Amino acid sequence: AEVGPRKGCRGLAGLGAAAVSDSRSLRAGERSRRSGAGAPGAVGPSGGRAGRNPISFSVLLRLPLKIDIIKHPHETDGKSTAAHAKLLAPEDVNLYTYPCIPEYEERKHEIVLVFPGPNSVSIEDISLHLHKHSPSNVLYSSENDRPEKLPNKRQKMEVEENGDAKDSSKRDSALLKKVVFIDSTWNQTHKIIADERLQGLLQVELKTRKTCFWRHQKGKPDTFLSTIEAIYYFLVDYHTAILKEKYKGQYDNLMFFYSFMYQLIKNAKSSARKQQENNIINL
């Protein structure tokens, strides 16, 4: 079977382009250190000073939400992309190996699980569904005041009377605190998703995003994403749909290692193809 980046993923143009640039600059910095040149104390992806995160501080980032990743015990570390998120956003990402799962029972009204399913919702609908499960129901005083009960015109008027759309988005974003992802092959997810500790969490599906992962699982649609892709795309869509802000690459560095590996595999595939063509010509 042919191994390489999937068709349609043209250089990851929309997937962490800044991360690819950073990886080049860090590799250049690594070469400079080997030759005795370069800025004192600079660090790259494969090294660093003792007691420090071995990733360049310019690559690390903070996220608007806390991320929990539940990793299948048989998921190979070398093939998993879950560690990418923990390394690049260490203060906002927690990694657990199943059957270790945090207790979410008391906080279901502020947590979502990103996983496709018949009852999954889109990111745009998260606030509406979380509010239904909010214990305080502080946003609306009665059942008839809920957004789904209001005509579109009245909703628009209330936004204008109580503040602009930005104030409304801040209110919506305050509902969601944490996002849970499952790191596993799709054939291994059943046991984890059926765990009682995850039952009752609102499920969210990224229905419009397509994977560029080079290890595509046979028989699965291209909307089934790798873990780091799912995290990245969720945050980008959350930024635009919930925070109502223009996306300006704030989370691109999450794709640092992914983009780096993508380029390596793409180049290796290209070199192998050229070598094969040369061998045919020389026959």
At 160 the three-state DSSP class reads helix
Cα 135 from Cα 133, distance rounded (Å): 6
Cβ neighbours of 99 (radius 10 Å): 11
Give residue 212's domain range.
1-26+55-134+175-269
Residues 79 and 165 placed together within one structural domain of the fold: no
Which carries the bigger pLDDT value, residue 231 or residue 185?
A: 231
Distances in whole angstroms, Cα of residue 240 to Cα of each of 9, 27, 100, 271: 22, 32, 33, 39
Residue 36 lies in a domain: no
H or E element that contains 257: helix 256-281
Q: pLDDT tens across 139-161, in order?
A: 444 444 454 554 554 444 444 55
β-pair type (111-114, 202-204): parallel
Residues 61 and 19 placed together within one structural domain of the fold: yes
Residues 101 and 205 placed together within one structural domain of the fold: yes
Residues 74 and 207 placed together within one structural domain of the fold: yes
Cβ neighbours of 178 (radius 10 Å): 18
162-167 mean pLDDT? 55
At 121 the three-state DSSP class reads strand
Q: pLDDT tens across 67-94, in order?
A: 999 999 998 887 789 999 999 999 999 9
Cα 28 from Cα 194, distance rounded (Å): 46
pTM over 0.85: no
| In the predicted structure, residue 11 carries a pLDDT above the cut 60 | no
Distances in whole angstroms, Cα of residue 6 to Cα of each of 29, 201, 210, 277: 30, 32, 10, 21
β-pair type (202-204, 178-183): unpaired
Output the pLDDT for position 167. Answer: 61
The domain tally of the chain equals: 2
Q: What share of the chain is helix, strand, coil (3-state, %, to 5)?
A: 45, 10, 50
Lowest-confidence range among 17-26, 188-197, 199-208? 17-26
Given a contact cutoff of 8 angstroms between Cβ atoms, the answer to whether 241 and 124 are in contact is: yes
Residues 98 and 230 placed together within one structural domain of the fold: yes
Residue 281 lies in a domain: no
Q: How many CA atoms does the CB half-sphere of 68 hold within 13 Å?
A: 17
Residues 242 and 188 placed together within one structural domain of the fold: yes
Cα 3 from Cα 32, distance rounded (Å): 33
| In the predicted structure, residue 263 carries a pLDDT above the cut 60 | yes
Q: pLDDT tens across 115-130, in order?
A: 999 999 999 999 999 8
Q: How confident is the model at residue 132 (pLDDT cuts 50, 70, 90)?
A: confident
Residues 162 and 120 placed together within one structural domain of the fold: no
Residues 263 and 165 placed together within one structural domain of the fold: no
H or E element that contains 206: none
> Using alpha carbons only, what angle is made at residue 168 by residues 165 and 170, rounded to the nearest 5 degrees?
115
Residue 208 lies in a domain: yes
H or E element that contains 71: strand 66-71
